[in-house]
A and B are shown apart, each in its own frame.
Chain A
Amino acid sequence: MRQGLVRALGGVAILAVIAGSAACNSTSKSSSSSGGKCGYELAFFGALTGSAANLGVNIEHGAELAVDQYNDKNGANCIKLDKADSQGSEQVAPGVARNLVTKKKLLGIIGPAFSGESAAADPIFDQAGIPMITPSATNPTLSTKGWKTFHRAVANDQNQGPAVANYIKDVLKAQKVFVADDQSAYGAGLADQVKAKLGSLVVGSDKTGGDGQQTDFSSVVQKIVASGATAFFYGGYYTNAGVLRKQLTQAGWKGVQLGGDGVNDPGYAEAAGNAAAAGSIVTLPAQPAAKAAGDFVSQYKAKWNVEPGTYSDTAYDAANMFLKGIDAGNTTTSKMNTFLSTINYEGVGNTYKFTSTGELDPSQLKIWAFKVDANGVPQPDQQVPTT
């Protein structure tokens, strides 16, 4: 039934595209100034529904803000932003991606948002030659597959993992650490990086079911309590992490739980309860959105009526990089890709330069640690060294 719904929505989206481009053509005919720049599309690709949807919605909101601001300057409906909902699922992503690559006017993808769906969808975009800038997928292997159109606007887990480990060693000064993950491409990859850097401080490890597939964590909880660990790192997303934290607190465990960017969301405290979640540490392989430069924070709040969330600013910058490319006349996908390879763009969150594999230039990598406050909101704590 859900697939039927997706198809129906896809149909509506296609109609909207046709209507939108028709409208756009008429405006571009009348106004000669913006003639060559209009009628193109960008796409957001990520979870807008599902158990990790909050992360996707942050990204979509950031990208949509950039496109709206561009359209305010260049005419309504000038650039259209497609919103492709992958549900964050590796199974759903390829179908959504194949649907997107049939769009002739599509110049770039903001996303895919998560690592698992990236592994499934990126080859399809790469084959179609459509440039991608992911503002959030942090699995290191994504840049090693030889995809020519892949770009990552944040640090990856090879940086995030050691940074988490550094925080555990230098700030928490924990001597016993337990590490678990959800067996996803993202969660397991990050947990392995943390384990490698912590070395002998790791007193035990375990693997849970995927996001939303396990609710009784009593065996993991038991192992953590029995291990005597004072810090627990969970590689996974916020729903599982929150339920785990709740059950750990119920079992009387008093240590600090840590998570990566997948846990950096108020949804963590919604699952765990504010009391259990308070004091947890979550990282972000980018600058905090609240510290973004210029008027971004106030503009975002004015449009969406919420504070910018994880990766909202990076997604805003990613969309603006594409829009800058369109402004410079890069209106084919191959020109756009060449444009991105030489870009040196100062956005609201960071300055973006890409290496030949599409990774962010090493000098621009930033990792921040956040601490969950008593209201369940992760607040920027400090920047952490990545080596």
Chain B
Amino acid sequence: MNFSGLIDNFGPLTVTGLAQGAIYALFALGYTLVYGLLRLINFAHSEVFMMGTFAALITWGSLFGLDQNSATPGVGAVLAYLVIGLIAAIIVSGITAVVIELVAYRPLRRRNAPPLTFLITAIGASTVISELIGVITHRNLRGVPPLIKPANVVHFGNTSITNLELLIIVLALVMMAVLDTFINRTRLGRGVRAVAQNPDGAALMGVNKNRVISLVFLLGGLMAGIAAVMYVLKIGDTRYDAGFTLGIEAFTAAVLGGIGNLRGALLGGLVLGVAENWGAGLFGTQWHQVVAFVLLVVILMFRPTGLLGESLGRARV
């Protein structure tokens, strides 16, 4: 164990962990929303994310001829590229999520299939999409244009936050606030909460259940699209299986915070990201997942429903 390594690098490890955790959190929202509504673990969500990473890269590549060996464009152009990349990723991820719902889940729901069937179609949809992209891209890495020139914007002690890390963390917090407001304050959000609380009751009150379900998949897809752009900027590459390990981490974050709970997903993501980095600092990077999952088990032993408890329309409303 390397206590001095952890203590000396405590600030930087925390900051990079928060940035990674923010990506987990945005990603985890898709799991948590769908679970909160349908009690369904949408394993294909990792592919919703992966499609978003490729959408951003292909947009930058085909529309603007940017590849990873391009020079960094000027600030104004970068902002435009970022917004366009985000829009492309959001659209593609959103569509992918809704299509998965329509093709893999809705027909089963109509026939009242048992929960196990949904699990299998989820894994099936996930494999189909990721293998398809794997074959199309020859399983190669695809590099990201250097859109953001790394620069330190905040300093305290030996810790500095780069512009990219700041962007990721702030964007995640903002999106979380927007989504939280949407679910809790708007009419559509009320519909989501109603279906989560009592699907039949909501239907009797005139809520269109299928539309609400599609909406929830769409919201999860949008958040995954944003996470995808943040991911490619941070990691610098994507591949057909980019969503796989990250999906497991994001799902873990959702459970850690309390699955079905939006704020829980944020907290769970950040805690997981930071814990992994602290674990890596203390024991070495090869231990980072061991540390994270031991932490998960310990937390769930004391709080079986996660840090903030399960709710989407339950407890808190």
The 0/1 profile, CB within 8 Å of B marked 1, for residues 200-220 of chain A is 000010111100111111111
Query: Does A274 lie within 8 Å of B241, measured CB to CB?
Result: no
The 0/1 profile, CB within 8 Å of B marked 1, for residues 268-281 of chain A is 00111111000000
How long is the Cα–Cα vector from A215 to B234 in the complex, in angstroms?
A: 10
CB A54 to nearest CB in B, in angstroms, measures 10
Query: Does B237 lie within 8 Å of A207, measured CB to CB?
Result: no
Partner of B285, one of A50, A207, A243: A207
A: residues with CB less than 8 A from B are 1, 49-51, 180, 183, 204, 206-209, 212-223, 225-226, 239, 242-243, 246-247, 250-252, 270-275, 376
How long is the Cα–Cα vector from A79 to B122 in the complex, in angstroms?
A: 48
Residues of B within 8 A of A221 (CB): 16
Query: Does A207 lie within 8 Å of B127, measured CB to CB?
Result: no
Is the C-beta of B286 less than 8 angstroms from some C-beta in chain A? Answer: yes
Partner of B237, one of A50, A183, A219, A246: A246
Known: A51-B139, A207-B284, A207-B286. A212 touches B239 (CB 8 A): yes
Select from chain B the residue with minimum beta-carbon distance to A275: B69
B241-255 contacts to A (CB < 8 Å) = 241-242, 245-246
B: residues with CB less than 8 A from A are 5, 8-9, 12-13, 16-17, 19-20, 68-69, 127, 131, 139-141, 143, 146, 150, 152, 158, 162, 164, 234-237, 239, 241-242, 245-246, 276-277, 280-281, 284-286, 288
Known: A209-B286, A213-B245, A270-B143. A243 touches B237 (CB 8 A): yes
Select from chain B the residue with minimum beta-carbon distance to A226: B9
Residues of A within 8 A of B288 (CB): 219
CB A330 to nearest CB in B, in angstroms, measures 39
| Given A1-B131, A180-B285, A218-B17; 11 other pairs, CB 8 A cutoff | A1-B127, A183-B286, A204-B5, A208-B286, A215-B237, A218-B16, A243-B237, A246-B143, A250-B162, A271-B141, A271-B237
How long is the Cα–Cα vector from A271 to B284 in the complex, in angstroms?
A: 24
Query: Does B150 lie within 8 Å of A219, measured CB to CB?
Result: no
How long is the Cα–Cα vector from A207 to B162 in the complex, in angstroms?
A: 25
A-B residue pairs, 7 tightest by C-beta = A219-B280, A218-B16, A207-B286, A246-B236, A273-B68, A274-B69, A250-B150
How long is the Cα–Cα vector from A274 to B146 in the complex, in angstroms?
A: 11
Select from chain B the residue with minimum beta-carbon distance to A250: B150
Query: Does A216 lie within 8 Å of B141, measured CB to CB?
Result: no
Query: Does A273 lie within 8 Å of B20, measured CB to CB?
Result: no
- Show 28 residue pairs from A and B whose CB-CB distance is below 8 angstroms, ordered by the A residue: A1-B127, A49-B139, A204-B5, A207-B285, A214-B285, A215-B245, A215-B246, A217-B285, A218-B20, A219-B281, A222-B16, A222-B277, A222-B281, A223-B281, A223-B285, A225-B12, A226-B158, A242-B141, A243-B141, A246-B143, A246-B237, A247-B235, A250-B162, A250-B164, A252-B152, A271-B143, A273-B236, A274-B69
Query: Does B286 lie within 8 Å of A239, measured CB to CB?
Result: no
How long is the Cα–Cα vector from A209 to B244 in the complex, in angstroms?
A: 14
Select from chain B the residue with minimum beta-carbon distance to A376: B69
Partner of B16, one of A183, A219, A271: A219
Residues of B within 8 A of A220 (CB): 280, 285
**Looking at A213, A217, A220, A223, which has the most chain B CB atoms within 10 Å of its CB?**
A223
Select from chain B the residue with minimum beta-carbon distance to A219: B280
Residues of B within 8 A of A208 (CB): 285-286
Known: A247-B236, A273-B68. A222 touches B12 (CB 8 A): yes
Query: Does A219 lie within 8 Å of B235, measured CB to CB?
Result: no
How long is the Cα–Cα vector from A271 to B19 in the complex, in angstroms?
A: 22
Query: Does A223 lie within 8 Å of B5, measured CB to CB?
Result: yes
Select from chain A the residue with minimum beta-carbon distance to B233: A250
CB B10 to nearest CB in A, in angstroms, measures 11
How long is the Cα–Cα vector from A204 to B284 in the complex, in angstroms?
A: 11
CB B163 to nearest CB in A, in angstroms, measures 11
CB A47 to nearest CB in B, in angstroms, measures 11
How long is the Cα–Cα vector from A274 to B237 in the complex, in angstroms?
A: 13
How long is the Cα–Cα vector from A225 to B276 in the complex, in angstroms?
A: 18
Known: A247-B235, A247-B236. A218 touches B143 (CB 8 A): no
Select from chain B the residue with minimum beta-carbon distance to A220: B285
Residues of B within 8 A of A204 (CB): 5
Residues of A within 8 A of B277 (CB): 218-219, 222
Residues of A within 8 A of B280 (CB): 206, 219-220
Partner of B9, one of A50, A223, A271: A223
Residues of B within 8 A of A207 (CB): 284-286
Residues of A within 8 A of B236 (CB): 243, 246-247, 250, 273
Select from chain A the residue with minimum beta-carbon distance to B148: A250
How long is the Cα–Cα vector from A183 to B284 in the complex, in angstroms?
A: 12
CB B131 to nearest CB in A, in angstroms, measures 7
CB A278 to nearest CB in B, in angstroms, measures 10
How long is the Cα–Cα vector from A216 to B234 in the complex, in angstroms?
A: 8
How long is the Cα–Cα vector from A86 to B276 in the complex, in angstroms?
A: 33
Residues of A within 8 A of B164 (CB): 250
Known: A183-B286, A207-B284, A207-B286. A222 touches B237 (CB 8 A): no
Query: Does A251 lie within 8 Å of B150, measured CB to CB?
Result: yes
Select from chain A the residue with minimum beta-carbon distance to B13: A222
How long is the Cα–Cα vector from A50 to B146 in the complex, in angstroms?
A: 26
How long is the Cα–Cα vector from A273 to B70 in the complex, in angstroms?
A: 9
Residues of A within 8 A of B17 (CB): 218
Select from chain A the residue with minimum beta-carbon distance to B277: A219
**Looking at B150, B245, B276, B285, which has the most chain A CB atoms within 10 Å of its CB?**
B285
